Amino acid sequence: MVVDDSADLVDTVAQYLGDNGFEVEPATSGRYALRRLEDAGCDVVLTDLRMPDMDGLDLLEAIQKVDARLPVVIMTAFGNVESAVDAMRRGAYDYVTKPFKMATVRHLLERAGNERRVKGQHRQLQTMGLVGQSAALGELKALIQRVANAPSSVLILGETGTGKELVARAIHLESDRRDSSFVSVNCAALPETLLDSALFGHGRGAFPGATEARRGLFVEADGGTLLLDEVGDLPLALQAKFLHVLQRGEIRPLGSEEALKVDVRCVASSQRDLRALVKEGRFREDLYFRLNVLPMRVVPLRERREDVPLLVDYFLGIRAERTLGPPRTLTREALALLDAYAWPGNVRELENLVERLVVTSPSPEIGADAVRAALAPVAPIDPIEVLVSARLTLAELEDRYTEAVLRRERGSKAKAATILGIDTTTLYRRDKRRA
């Protein structure tokens, strides 16, 4: 939304922003802007500071009552910079002084909008545990909500790094157990004796070194949710004890004759094929059927590539919040490289890659060369897939290839024309078109 009592300025800014991909709501008064915001809302507001009916500070205060997270950018004359700074103290996102360059305003609004989107995704992560807008992820979120309060056990299946624990946390947060504990244990990380003690607890003197009694994780999760991550690695003896908990709702700590009642929602996850483990005699069939009542599959990242840009924005935003640094972005070519990559490590690998890019790339805008260097030790990238993923038109592709050849030949049009297989007249015509 663009707000100024000068209709000419509003029209000029709106026209420029509209030509650059924005949807613009013009307003020539603060009161009209406020009514439109209450009716329809927007992603960012650009408003003048001095207006007759409602000045920018009053509008800022009113906007904060409607949507406290809505970024507001103040326009002001050079002599009123002190007032603009005061507006920032009151919660304005930033300010620009008139006269300003349109490109400066556009970049500022893009940054404000991106930060709003990233923060929205962060809130979504806290409530649902997942970031993305793909159909596969939408189906998973809908399933999470359906099973959240079901009494049956849930089995979450998926490759490593897909976010199985996030799904388990989302189930917990969507359930009526959200105010109680969420406890997770990796069944592959502990030997059998320690895992037995960790899950079910032990009494004093239950085994050598047990000088004190210990509450198990089932007791810690009482009233809440317990995730058994990589349940396929649970030893057979503990599988029997786990099945008993599912059937009877009680545990027996090591070295104790007394059974304890627990009220725990059990969620299990695995990247392994549990049916194959059953056939091999390494996983109890009765436990498998007990767990597989509500199976959920978390799709790998390569099956929801449209979520890659959103995840990149989210991880960049988290990094910026953590370091209090400026927000970073990736160029379209850099995102195309990520889109063409197979992601064997899934979302976890993408998160680590973004961290590496932020640390190793000094520029605020991370380009394709930085991504290529970061991915080089991992796997080759198909250049044809990159071109397709970049969604360039033939004219754009022709222009970029021509520019690359000219750079390589240090601006020599004669040499470039020979490599391109065209005459110099055609090359000059392309240069004029690009200009």
Q: How far is residue 288's CA from residue 212's CA, in Å, rounded to a whole number? A: 34
Per cent of the chain over pLDDT 70 is 89
Burial class (CB in 10 A: 0-12, 13-18, 19+), 190: middle
Which residue type sits at 125?
L
Interacting residues of 336 by C-beta distance below 8 A, sequence separation 6+? 368, 386, 387, 389, 390, 391
Pick from 4-8, 132-136, 152-156, 404-408: least confident: 404-408
Structure confidence at residue 303 (pLDDT): 92
Half-sphere exposure of 31 (CA within 13 A, CB side): 3
HEC-encoded secondary structure of the chain? CEECCCHHHHHHHHHHHHHCCCCCCEECCHHHHHHHHHHCCCCCEEEECCCCCCCHHHHHHHHHHHCCCCCEEEEEEHHHHHHHHHHHHCCCCEEEEECCCHHHHHHHHHHHHHHHHHHHHHHHHHHHCCCCCCHHHHHHHHHHHHHCCCCCCEEEECCCCCCHHHHHHHHHHHCCCCCCCEEEEECCCCCHHHHHHHHHCECCCCCCCCCCCECCHHHHCCCCEEEEECHHHCCHHHHHHHHHHHHHCEECCECCCCCEECCCEEEEEECCCHHHHHHCCCCCHHHHHHHCCEEEECCCHHHCHHHHHHHHHHHHHHHHHHHCCCCCEECHHHHHHHHHCCCCCHHHHHHHHHHHHHHHCCCCEECHHHHHHHHCCCCCCCHHHHHHHHCCCHHHHHHHHHHHHHHHCCCCHHHHHHHHCCCHHHHHHHHHHHC
- Residues 217-264 have pLDDT tens digits of 999 999 999 999 999 999 999 999 999 999 999 998 887 778 889 999
Mean pLDDT of all residues in 292-321:
89
Confidence at 125, pLDDT banded by 50, 70, 90: very low
- pTM for this predicted structure: 0.60
- What does the pLDDT look like over 317-358, one tens digit per residue? 888 777 766 778 899 899 999 988 999 999 999 999 998 998
pLDDT of the residue at 324? 62
Question: Span 286-295, mean pLDDT?
Answer: 93
- Which pLDDT band holds residue 383 (cuts at 50, 70, 90)? low
Q: 96 and 104 in contact (C-beta within 8 Å)?
A: yes
Q: How far apart are CA 201 and CA 224, in angstroms?
A: 17
> In degrees, to the nearest 5, what angle opens at C-alpha 258 toward C-alphas 262 and 177?
5
Band of pLDDT at residue 209, cut at 50, 70 and 90: low
Q: Tokens representing 175? A: 């359930």
According to the model, what pLDDT value does residue 427 have?
76
Mean pLDDT of 54-64: 87
Is there a contact between 137 and 323 (Cβ–Cβ < 8 Å)?
Answer: no
Structural domains for the chain: 2-120 (3.40.50.2300), 129-299 (3.40.50.300), 305-434 (1.10.8.60)
Give the Cα separation of 4 and 27 in Å (integer).
Answer: 7
> What local confidence, expressed as pLDDT, does residue 55 receive?
86
Residue 364: pLDDT over 60? yes
In angstroms, the Cα distances linking 182 to 162, 167, 175, 217 are 19, 12, 11, 10
Q: What is the dihedral of CA 314, 318, 324, 327, to 10 degrees?
A: -20
Q: What is the signed CA dihedral for 35, 40, 41, 42, rounded to 10 degrees?
A: -120
Percent of the chain with pLDDT over 90: 41
Note the pLDDT tens digit of each residue in 127-151.
455 888 889 998 998 899 899 988 8
Task: Give the pLDDT mean for 96-115.
Answer: 85
Instruction: Please tell me the predicted confidence (pLDDT) of residue 414.
Output: 79
**418: phi then psi, degrees, rounded to nearest 5:** -65, -45
Burial class (CB in 10 A: 0-12, 13-18, 19+), 79: exposed
